[in-house]
Amino acid sequence: MNFKEKVFSIVKKIPKGKVLTYKEVARRVGSPNSYRAVGNILHTNFDKTIPCHRVIRSDGKF
């Protein structure tokens, strides 16, 4: 499984009503300093089954 697939797998598991930060997603993927890469991956996602809106910045912004 590559980095992008791991990110999507984690984001798909975020329950409705909950959020994670980009940094938390990166940490769960096993690459805690790759939070910008997580943001870039989610920014270019067009698959409606992946709830990208549940991933936010550390300061609480989208």
pLDDT, average across residues 10-33: 97
pLDDT, average across residues 45-50: 93
Q: Cα 34 to chain center, whole Å? A: 11
- Clarify whether 1 is annotated catalytic: no
pLDDT, average across residues 30-55: 96
Q: How does DSSP classify residue 15?
A: P
Rounded to a whole number of angstroms, the distance between the first and last alpha carbons of the chain is 27
| Given 52, 55, 60, 62, the catalytic residue | 52
In terms of DSSP bridges, do strands 20-21 and 55-56 run parallel, antiparallel, or are they unpaired? parallel
Domains in the chain and their CATH numbers?
3-56 (1.10.10.10)
